[in-house]
């Protein structure tokens, strides 16, 4: 009887929370939970954290997405299946925005220009301290890339994205930053970009804006020069975790997502950063020295704390659908921020995939996940394929992405001119081409 009473109270609390969520969090007038319009499937959302400007912030995400893409190819039998084929919108902050933009960048053949494996190679090569052309370490190549990005786009970002803009993505992209001039958060959005040139920004500038950290400011302008942003990192604005912004965008954007009325209509993959508390040199891991943290470290810890709070809030909003409709990947323990080479970086990413993270459970607090990050990725691959097949046979289109009325020629069609020989012709630039000194 006591267990039944607890179950009844839990169900009542859940229904109350659902009512409050529907009425206040996601907008009044939407159908209550359970009133989902079946047939169209769920809107698929990818959100990648980025609490700092280090490449290791995106290492777990890059490895998880490479594994996910491999799983999607195995399950569909399509050797050129891409992550972008199975998500309707992607959001990224900091280094996570760089990764999301790479995966969504449209090539000359209309397909995503980079594979997830290529993006992983870029991230891993940017972490290592001894990587030849790709080396430089946390304070080396990757940091130089972002410092250069703050001064007009950066040579490396220019080589990755060329003059491609928010319009030149295969799916909607959301990237948060903090506008110093208006003292308010600002979200770069493809949905806004297709409406007006004043909201269309070059992807290299978008990445520079969301990655500007530790007092740095990236001054970026829209393609028509009418909109200027004095940007600091999205982590400064408490948006190091863009999952909530992405879900809110989907539920309120009825033009592009007409059937998304609540969290039951959304499938979210949210990927956190790799927590950094140890240092590894030539394979030897030692604890960081116990000293007073620098302002940079304090800012990072604060941003990571806010990202965890966002995760807990979103998990609570999804309620009992959490784990099915909301999947969160996060490093279960600290990993090394300084690694010997790209191979060591990939090995560290593999270690994070093998970890179990702490999850938020509605009215139960937090608990250690029963599945590893890798197991979650594999299960999600199966779920995404099911959603993909359901959508192919559905008479109700639940996604109607805005198209550009007057396409503007950009480097999405020129910088990728070498990839016009077919669907599988996308190529990764040589390691030397990422050199920020070039």
At 298 the pLDDT is 56
At 436 the pLDDT is 38
Q: What angle do CA 132, 137, 139 make, to 5 degrees?
A: 135
401-416 average pLDDT score = 53
Q: Comparing 164 with 25, which gets the higher pLDDT?
A: 164
Give every CB contact of residue 228 below 8 A, 6+ residues apart in sequence: 181, 219, 220, 221, 222
Write out the two tokens for 419.
Answer: 């990839």
Q: Comparing 74 with 314, which gets the higher pLDDT?
A: 74
Q: Could you give the percent of the chain with pLDDT greater than 90?
A: 34
pLDDT at 323 over 70: yes
pLDDT at 169 over 90: yes
Q: Could you give the percent of the chain with pLDDT greater than 70?
A: 62
pLDDT at 334 over 70: no
DSSP letter for 135, please.
-
At 267 the pLDDT is 95
Q: Backbone phi, then psi, for 333, in 5-degree steps?
A: -150, 170
* 344-361 pLDDT per residue, tens: 888 888 888 998 887 766
Q: Comparing 396 with 182, which gets the higher pLDDT?
A: 182
* 19-62 pLDDT per residue, tens: 445 544 444 444 444 444 455 589 999 999 986 555 567 889 99
At 433 the pLDDT is 46
Q: Comparing 134 with 101, which gets the higher pLDDT?
A: 101
SS3 111: coil
pLDDT at 375 over 80: yes
SS3 161: helix
E-strand ranges in 22-63 read: 43-48
Q: Comparing 296 with 121, which gets the higher pLDDT?
A: 121
* 50-92 pLDDT per residue, tens: 865 555 678 899 999 999 999 999 999 999 999 999 999 999 9
Give every CB contact of residue 70 below 8 A, 6+ residues apart in sequence: 117
At 189 the pLDDT is 95
pLDDT band (50, 70, 90) for residue 14: low
Give every CB contact of residue 46 below 8 A, 6+ residues apart in sequence: 83, 87, 89, 90, 91, 100, 268, 269, 271
pLDDT band (50, 70, 90) for residue 279: very low
At 369 the pLDDT is 84
At 73 the pLDDT is 97
Closest CA to 262 of 308, 309, 321, 313: 321
What b-and-e string marks burial along 402-424, b requiring 16 or more CB atoms within 10 Å of the CB? beeeeeeebbbbebbeebeeeee
At 162 the pLDDT is 92
Q: Comparing 254 with 301, which gets the higher pLDDT?
A: 254
Give every CB contact of residue 215 below 8 A, 6+ residues apart in sequence: none
pLDDT band (50, 70, 90) for residue 364: low
* 112-160 pLDDT per residue, tens: 999 999 999 888 877 654 433 333 334 445 555 554 444 444 677 888 8
Q: Are 129 and 136 in contact (CB under 8 A)?
A: yes
Indicate yes or no: pTM above 0.75: yes
């Amino acid at each position: 009887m006591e267990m039944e009473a607890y179950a009844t109270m839990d169900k009542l609390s859940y229904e109350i929370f659902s009512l409050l969520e529907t009425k206040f969090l996601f907008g009044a007038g939407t159908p209550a939970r359970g009133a989902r319009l079946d047939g169209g499937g769920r809107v698929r959302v990818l959100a990648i954290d980025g609490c700092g400007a280090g490449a290791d912030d995106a290492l777990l995400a890059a490895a998880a997405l490479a594994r996910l893409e491999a799983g999607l190819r195995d399950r569909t039998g399509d050797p050129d299946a891409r992550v972008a084929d199975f998500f309707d919108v992607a959001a990224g902050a900091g280094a996570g925005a760089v990764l999301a933009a790479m995966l969504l960048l449209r090539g000359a053949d209309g397909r995503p220009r980079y594979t997830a494996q290529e993006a992983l190679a870029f991230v891993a090569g940017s972490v290592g301290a001894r990587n030849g052309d790709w080396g430089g370490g946390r304070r080396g190549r990757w940091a130089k890339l972002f410092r250069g990005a703050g001064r007009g786009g950066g040579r490396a970002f220019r080589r990755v994205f060329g003059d491609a803009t928010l319009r030149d993505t295969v799916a909607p992209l959301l990237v948060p930053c903090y506008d110093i001039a208006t003292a308010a958060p600002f979200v770069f959005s493809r949905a806004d970009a297709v409406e007006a040139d004043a909201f269309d920004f070059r992807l290299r500038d978008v990445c520079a804006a969301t990655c500007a950290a530790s007092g740095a400011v990236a001054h970026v302008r829209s393609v028509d020069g009418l909109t200027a942003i004095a940007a600091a990192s999205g982590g400064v604005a408490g948006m190091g975790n863009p999952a909530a912004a992405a879900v809110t965008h989907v539920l309120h954007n009825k033009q592009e997502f007409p059937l998304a009325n609540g969290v039951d209509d959304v499938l979210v993959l949210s990927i956190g950063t790799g927590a950094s508390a140890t240092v590894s040199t030539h394979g030897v891991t030692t604890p960081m020295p116990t000293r007073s943290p620098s302002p940079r470290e304090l800012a990072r810890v604060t941003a990571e704390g806010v990202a965890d709070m966002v995760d807990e809030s979103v998990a609570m909003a999804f309620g009992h659908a959490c784990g099915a409709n909301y999947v969160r990947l996060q490093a279960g323990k600290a990993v090394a921020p300084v690694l010997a080479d790209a191979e060591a970086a990939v090995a560290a990413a593999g270690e994070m995939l093998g970890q179990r993270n702490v999850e938020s459970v509605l009215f139960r607090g937090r608990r250690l996940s029963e599945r590893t990050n890798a197991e979650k990725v594999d299960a999600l691959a199966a779920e995404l394929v099911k959603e993909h097949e359901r959508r192919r046979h559905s008479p109700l289109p639940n996604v109607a992405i805005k198209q550009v009325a007057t396409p503007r020629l950009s480097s999405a069609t020129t910088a990728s001119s070498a990839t016009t020989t077919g669907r599988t012709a996308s190529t990764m630039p040589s390691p030397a081409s990422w050199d920020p000194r070039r």
